[in-house]
Amino acid sequence: MSVLLNKGTTFIVQGITGREAVNLTRECLDYGSKVVGGVTPGRKGREVHGVPVFDTVAQAVENHGGPIDGSVVTVPPAFTKDAVFEAILNGIKLIVIVTERIPRGDVAQMVELADMEGARIIGPNCLGLIVPGVCKMGGIGGPAKDAAKSYAPGPVGVMSRSGGMTTEISSSLTQAGLGVSTAVSIGGDAIIGSTYAELMPYFEADEQTEAIVIYTEPGGRMEAQLSQWVADNNSRLPIVAFMAGKFMDDEEMKGMSFGHAGTIVEGVEDTATEKIARLEAAGIRVVERIDQIPDTVKEKIGADA
Partner 1 sequence: MRFYEYEARRIVELAGIPVTKYGFCTSAEQARAAAEEIGGPVVVKSQVLSGGRMKAGGVKFADTPEEAAAHAEAILQLEINDQMPRGVLVDPKAEVKQEYYASVVWDGTAKRPLMLFSDMGGIDIEEVAETHPDHVGRGHLTNLFPIPDFEAKQTIAATGVSGSQLNRATPILARLARLFREYDMTLAEINPLAELTDGSFVALDAHMEMENEAVGRQKQLLRTQLEIAEEDTRETYEPSDFERHVAAIDAADHRGVIQGKDHGFTGNLGLVIGAGGGSLTLTDAVRSQGGKPANYSEIGGNPSVAKACGLAKEVLEKDGVEKIAVMMSIVSNTRVDIVARGVIKACLELGKDPGETIAIFRIPGAWEDEGFKILERYGVEYCDRSVSLWEAAGRAVAKVQGAAG
Q: Which stretch binds partner 1 (CB under 8 A): 63-71, 206-214, 237-245, 278-286?
A: 237-245
Q: Give the CA count within 13 Å in the CB-facing half-sphere of 247.
A: 4
Cα separation, 4 vs 265, whole angstroms: 31
**Residue 42 Cβ vs partner 1, minimum distance, rounded to whole Å:** 22
Closer residue to partner 1 (CB): 91 or 143: 143
**Residue 64 Cβ vs partner 1, minimum distance, rounded to whole Å:** 28
Among 47, 62, 112, 280, binds partner 1 (CB under 8 A): 112
Tell me the DSSP string of 41-82: TT-TT-EETTEEEESSHHHHHHHHTS---EEEE---HHHHHH
Give residues with Cβ within 8 angstroms of 297, minimum separation 6: 156, 173, 178, 211, 213, 238, 240
The three-state secondary structure class of 165 is helix
Q: Which stretch binds partner 1 (CB under 8 A): 4-12, 52-60, 86-94, 141-149?
A: 141-149
Closer residue to partner 1 (CB): 207 or 252: 252
> How many residues bind partner 1, per CB under 8 A?
64
Q: Which stretch binds partner 1 (CB under 8 A): 60-68, 130-138, 160-168, 206-214?
A: 160-168
Question: Is 260 among the catalytic positions?
Answer: yes
Neighbours of 257 (CB within 10 A): 15
**Whose CA is closest to 241, among 153, 157, 150?**
157
Answer for the pair 122, 96: CB distance below 8 angstroms, yes or no.
Answer: yes
Q: Which stretch binds partner 1 (CB under 8 A): 51-59, 64-72, 136-144, 277-285?
A: 136-144
Identify the active-site residue in 260, 275, 278, 300: 260
Closer residue to partner 1 (CB): 110 or 131: 110
Closer residue to partner 1 (CB): 168 or 204: 168
DSSP H helices, the chain, are: 19-31, 57-64, 77-89, 104-117, 144-150, 163-175, 196-204, 222-232, 272-281, 293-304
Cα separation, 147 vs 24, whole angstroms: 12
**Sheet with strand 135-137: strands edge to edge:** 135-137, 128-131, 180-185, 153-160, 211-216, 239-243, 285-287
Positions 272 through 291 that interact with partner 1 (CB under 8 A): 288-291
Q: Is 105 in the site for partner 1 (CB under 8 A)?
A: yes
Closer residue to partner 1 (CB): 162 or 271: 162
Q: Is 236 in the site for partner 1 (CB under 8 A)?
A: no
Among 17, 59, 109, 235, binds partner 1 (CB under 8 A): 109
- Phi first, then psi, for residue 73 (nearest 5°) are -105, 120
Which positions lie near partner 1, rule CB under 8 A?
20, 23, 77-78, 101-105, 107-109, 111-113, 139, 141-143, 146-147, 150, 160-165, 167-168, 171-172, 175, 188, 190-191, 195, 215, 217, 220-222, 224-225, 242, 244-248, 250, 252-253, 255-256, 258-261, 263, 288-291
Q: Which residues are catalytic?
A: 260
